[in-house]
């Protein structure tokens, strides 16, 4: 009976993680759609402010008192998170949700190289192979007739770099700070950065449509808070390598939903490029868990 219960929990965990991947993939579509009504900084300001409120209301008993050192260190994580989402959201104005889903996922390939730079631990051979496949895939996805990536593609790759930095910063700081405290502080700090940037660089928004509010609530409650909670519980009943493979399907869902809901174009070249990047992600994810310390992530995975 116990064995059966464990299997049931594992299957439920896998199904839950598949939901997380689907929700994150839908996050790209929600942002793209909301950008029709809001400027990038105001959109993220609304999203992260609401997410911070939901996180605190739901997890305040575990957050507790926050020391000045915890605030300072977690603010570093929040600032990196702000830079990642700023680059991603602005970039999405100039590229498609389906392309951005795969280009953003290249952070998986970047993490081991950044880890190599910081800790002098050389990645395994498959990481280099995965990097090569990723570069080829990016070429098929983003290169146009002039053999150049557009501004949105470059900003998305920059956001992937920041997301890779964010994962490593989370892994570093959560060694001494409770993960829920880091989660709350980083989202709150990112919200403050977005509010400041919106007030300085963008005009005040007018009235928002019901569709825009639906997108904001989806991103804050589902993509940020909900997915993080589900992921945390689900990973108690499955391995992190297994979970990572399932959650990397977000890029596939982003492409499917982008074509289906936003009528985005998916050429054969783009499809082939996406397939190469997805193969590279799976290769690197399997090796990453064997070569690096177990990261505790809330940032990119939880906040898309």
Q: What is the structure's pLDDT at 102?
A: 78
On whether the CB atoms of residues 31 and 101 are closer than 8 A, the answer is no
Q: What is the structure's pLDDT at 9?
A: 75
Q: What is the structure's pLDDT at 241?
A: 46
Q: What is the structure's pLDDT at 295?
A: 47
Q: What is the structure's pLDDT at 285?
A: 62
On whether the CB atoms of residues 44 and 155 are closer than 8 A, the answer is no
* R_g over Cα of the chain: 19
Q: What is the structure's pLDDT at 262?
A: 78
Classified as helix, coil or strand, 238 is coil
Q: Which residues of the chain have pLDDT under 70?
A: 1-4, 142-148, 228-229, 231-233, 235-248, 284-304
- pTM, two decimals, is 0.78
Q: What is the structure's pLDDT at 243?
A: 57
Q: What is the structure's pLDDT at 39?
A: 93
**255 Cβ partners below 8 Å, 6+ apart?**
25, 98, 99, 101, 102, 266, 274
On whether the CB atoms of residues 231 and 297 are closer than 8 A, the answer is no
Distance CA 234, CA 232 (A): 6
């Amino acid at each position: 009976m116990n064995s059966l219960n464990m299997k049931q929990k594992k299957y439920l965990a896998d199904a839950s993680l598949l939901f997380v991947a689907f929700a994150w993939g839908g996050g790209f579509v929600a942002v793209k759609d909301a950008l029709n009504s809001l400027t990038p900084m105001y959109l993220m300001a609304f999203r992260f402010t609401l997410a911070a409120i939901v996180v605190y209301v739901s997890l305040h008993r575990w957050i507790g008192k926050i020391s000045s050192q915890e605030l300072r260190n977690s603010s570093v994580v929040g600032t990196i998170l702000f830079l990642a989402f700023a680059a991603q959201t602005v970039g999405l104005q100039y590229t498609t949700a389906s392309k951005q889903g795969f280009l953003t996922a290249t952070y998986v390939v970047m993490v081991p190289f950044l880890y190599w730079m910081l800790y002098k631990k050389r990645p395994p051979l498959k990481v280099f192979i995965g990097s090569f496949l990723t570069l080829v895939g990016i070429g098929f996805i983003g290169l146009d007739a002039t053999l150049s990536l557009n501004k949105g593609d470059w900003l998305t790759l920059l956001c992937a770099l920041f997301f890779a930095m964010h994962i490593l910063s989370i892994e570093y700081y959560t060694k001494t700070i409770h993960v829920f405290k880091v989660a709350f502080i980083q989202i709150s700090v990112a919200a403050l950065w977005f509010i400041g940037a919106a007030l300085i660089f963008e005009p005040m928004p007018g009235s928002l449509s019901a569709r825009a509010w639906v997108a904001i609530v989806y991103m804050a409650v589902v993509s940020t808070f909900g997915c993080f909670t589900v992921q945390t519980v689900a990973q108690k009943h499955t391995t992190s390598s297994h979970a990572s493979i399932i959650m990397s399907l977000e890029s596939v869902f982003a492409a499917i939903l982008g074509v289906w809901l936003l009528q985005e174009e998916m050429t054969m070249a783009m499809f082939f490029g996406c397939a190469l990047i997805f193969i590279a992600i799976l290769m690197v994810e399997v090796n990453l868990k064997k070569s690096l310390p177990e990261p505790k992530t809330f940032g990119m995975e939880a906040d898309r």
